[in-house]
Amino acid sequence: MYDLPWLLAPPDDFNERCAQLKYHKTPADEVHALAKYALSINQSNRLYQAIRKLNANTRSLLAHTLTPFKLGIVSNATMDLMIPSFVMAAIRNGVDLELITTDFGQVAQEAFDPDSKLNQSKPDAVLVALDYRAYPFFGDQSVASVQITPSEKALNYLQQIRESFKQKGGMICIVQTLACPPYEFSGNFDVQLDGILRKSLTEFNRALVDDIKNSPDVLLDVAAIVNMVGACHWFDDRQWYLSRVPMANTYVPLYAEYLTKLIAALRGKSKKCLVLDLDNTLWGGVIGDDGLEGIQIGQGHPVGESFLAVQQWAKTLKDLGVLLAVCSKNDKDIASEAFQRHSGMLLKKNDFAVFVANWEDKASNIRYIAETLNIGLDAIVFVDDNPAEREIIRTMLPEISVPELPKDPSQFLRILCAARYFEKIDFTDDDAQRNAQYSSNVRRQEIQKSAASLDDYLVSLEMHISFAPFDEFGRKRIVQLINKTNQFNLTTRRYTEAEVLQFENNEQSVTLQVHLQDKFGDNGMISVLICKVYKDRWEIETWLMSCRVIKRRVEDAVCDELVARARKSGVSRLRGFYRPTEKNGLVKEHYRRLGFECVGSSDTEDVWDLVVDRYQIKNPPIKVTKSSVTA
């Protein structure tokens, strides 16, 4: 189960392909293809070494296809042997991972010394990879009553480490819960006895989770991973005593996968949409052949309950903000009837943002789903019980994640949950409303098709826009938008919550969070701006907008607001930047359309200036309901 079973096993010629990598016509593509397999620690090392032998231009091309992230590591354990697994898992999850390692056991020294390697390097985050053996407070198994418990001492120590990295290096920390080793002192009573390791670790984890909720740091729940695989398997005492390796080699790829999925989530690369097949995926049987009463779903039947568990998983994901869609080879009316009439069905048709059931090929249908939702193919997970269909999608749409499933449906849920495609680092009101927002967007698109003109359509939406500076209430959503928006994003700069907080409190910054409503409902926060203040100008460091509101002239309303604020502040000029990526070609001419003039251009950046007094107010058909200025 724990060799990344949702991924395909490496092919028989894996070693040969690694050896021939530098001779491949498109080595970057080959790296992506090889990294997608369920690699052991040895296979990860083999591919890692093959990548290091590529020339600088090829490695640069590979990095260009990924999102960069610089990770520092401090630990009480030996982590160097894990580096190849970290890098390969990161590539698989769309991240170009640069690692800054430190000497063994130098956790406090790195944190508290402002001139330490990590504090000077200022990585995007620091992995504080500590297990229970890093905290001396857990070493004394005395049951004597004490005023400060071992868990409190350990949490205080970790808080000091985190705060020091924040203050001296401006970094967030990835901190770990503590797994309990398979040692018992009083049997079942261990969990009740003060000072005993099991109770202390339980208290520590509970307190750490509560503490993390109120900080920009993020949690890597190692205790949950160990619970999944079993402490007797995870902890390899011989390996620890010999070389201070914190886990059995077997589980290094799993640890690397979950760590890099968390890093990908920090960069907004968690999946957004779950596309589901129907027959033998959401229920047992083929509804077109077996009929409504012949399919197996619901309580009281072992097969039906297996599929019900999958539906419960999908329903929970929807509640967490994941979009659901159907892509099935079926008659649409017959497929729809199952959701409307079958008493055992948990999911209903209105749970799906898009419902596609026809006899066309699934690759074309998934492209249609992506276009309808205006999301990238790399944001989609496609679940299908049919291995032939899975292989077709992997071949035709390699950007899509397609989990491997066993024949036994009772194992579906375990595999799908273990894959962690939808890793989250926060949960906002916008997440809770996401499916409703996208469903409303589909209705907007239907109305647009029948509108006489674009202006008539926009007027009919009855849009209301509001503007406000960054604040604590919108901070998590702001960070979320900054790190996941790719299409309408002028510079694609990524910021942590700690960095956003700095903009929020900095008088040399102008910030805007933008909310939009219309007659179909609340679109939530849909745009973010960050400007740096100079004597004669504001420089727009970040301007991004949700793909849900593209082509609704929201950018005109935002520019009107920005110019009005600049005039009020006596600023004569706005300067904007466009940095091209593979995905943001949509906004290449954004500033030109708004009236800016290009004053500099290179392969990596275009610079645009606007003389504020010459700006022509756009006045789109959007009513401003909250603003500190008027244009």
CATH number, position 103: 3.40.50.1110
**91-109 burial string, b = 16+ CB within 10 Å, else e?**
bbbbbbbbbbbbeeebbee
Instruction: Give the mean pLDDT of 232-245.
Output: 94
* Strand arrangement of the beta sheet that strand 172-176 belongs to: 95-101, 67-75, 125-129, 172-176, 218-220
Share of the chain above pLDDT 90, in %: 74
Instruction: Give the mean pLDDT of 430-442.
Output: 73
Structure confidence at residue 629 as a pLDDT band (50, 70, 90) = low
Is residue 425 a part of any domain in this protein?
Answer: no
Is residue 173 a part of any domain in this protein?
Answer: yes
Whether residue 326 sits in one domain with residue 202 = no
Instruction: Give the mean pLDDT of 340-358.
Output: 93
CATH number of the domain within which 569 lies: 3.40.630.30
Structural domain ending residue among the three candidates 239, 266, 293: 266
Higher pLDDT, 522 or 308: 308
* pTM for the model: 0.84
Taking only the tens place, the pLDDT of each residue in 591-623 is 999 999 999 999 899 999 999 999 999 999 999
Structural domain ending residue among the three candidates 213, 244, 266: 266
CA atoms of 240 and 234, how far apart (whole Å):
11
Would you say 132 and 138 are in contact if contact means Cβ atoms under 8 Å apart?
yes
Average pLDDT value over all residues in the chain: 91
Whether residue 465 sits in one domain with residue 486 = yes
Instruction: Give the mean pLDDT of 170-182.
Output: 95
- DSSP lists the bridge partners of residue 220 as 176
Would you say 255 and 225 are in contact if contact means Cβ atoms under 8 Å apart?
yes
Please check the confidence at residue 142 and state whether its pLDDT lies above 70.
no
Whether residue 601 sits in one domain with residue 482 = yes
Residue 338: predicted pLDDT: 92
Whether residue 248 sits in one domain with residue 124 = yes
Instruction: Give the mean pLDDT of 121-150.
Output: 82
Residue 443: predicted pLDDT: 72
Residue 547: predicted pLDDT: 82
Whether residue 334 sits in one domain with residue 258 = no
Residue 630: predicted pLDDT: 47
Taking only the tens place, the pLDDT of each residue in 16-66 is 999 999 999 999 999 999 999 999 999 999 999 999 999 999 999 899 889
Is residue 443 a part of any domain in this protein?
Answer: no
Taking only the tens place, the pLDDT of each residue in 534-579 is 988 999 999 999 887 888 899 999 999 999 999 999 999 999 999 9
CA atoms of 408 and 467, how far apart (whole Å):
52
Whether residue 71 sits in one domain with residue 43 = no
Is residue 432 a part of any domain in this protein?
Answer: no
Residue 613: predicted pLDDT: 93
Say whether 359 sits in a helix, a strand or coil: coil
Total domains, the chain: 4
Identify the H or E element spanning 592.
helix 590-594
CA atoms of 38 and 40, how far apart (whole Å):
7
- DSSP lists the bridge partners of residue 324 as 274
Please check the confidence at residue 237 and state whether its pLDDT lies above 90.
yes
Is residue 171 a part of any domain in this protein?
Answer: yes
Strands 597-601 and 606-611: antiparallel
A 10 A CB-CB count for 406 gives 13
Instruction: Give the mean pLDDT of 297-306.
Output: 91
Please check the confidence at residue 453 and state whether its pLDDT lies above 90.
no
CATH number of the domain within which 307 lies: 3.40.50.1000
Q: CA of 418: how far to CAs of 8, 39, 224, 313, 348, in Å? A: 14, 16, 11, 12, 25
Tokens, residue 297: 């779903």
Is residue 479 a part of any domain in this protein?
Answer: yes
Whether residue 301 sits in one domain with residue 249 = no
Whether residue 71 sits in one domain with residue 61 = no
Share of the chain above pLDDT 70, in %: 97
Whether residue 84 sits in one domain with residue 46 = no
Please check the confidence at residue 149 and state whether its pLDDT lies above 80.
yes
Whether residue 242 sits in one domain with residue 149 = yes
Please check the confidence at residue 407 and state whether its pLDDT lies above 70.
yes
Structural domain ending residue among the three candidates 217, 241, 266: 266
Q: Which of 24-38, 131-145, 390-404, 481-495 is least confident?
A: 131-145
Is residue 451 a part of any domain in this protein?
Answer: no
Say which residues have a Cβ less than 8 Å from residue 122's Cβ, sequence separation at least 6.
169, 170, 171
Residue 567 lies in domain: 456-626
Taking only the tens place, the pLDDT of each residue in 248-262 is 999 999 999 999 999
Is residue 24 a part of any domain in this protein?
Answer: yes
Whether residue 189 sits in one domain with residue 223 = yes
Would you say 240 and 456 are in contact if contact means Cβ atoms under 8 Å apart?
no
Whether residue 246 sits in one domain with residue 107 = yes
Residue 631: predicted pLDDT: 41
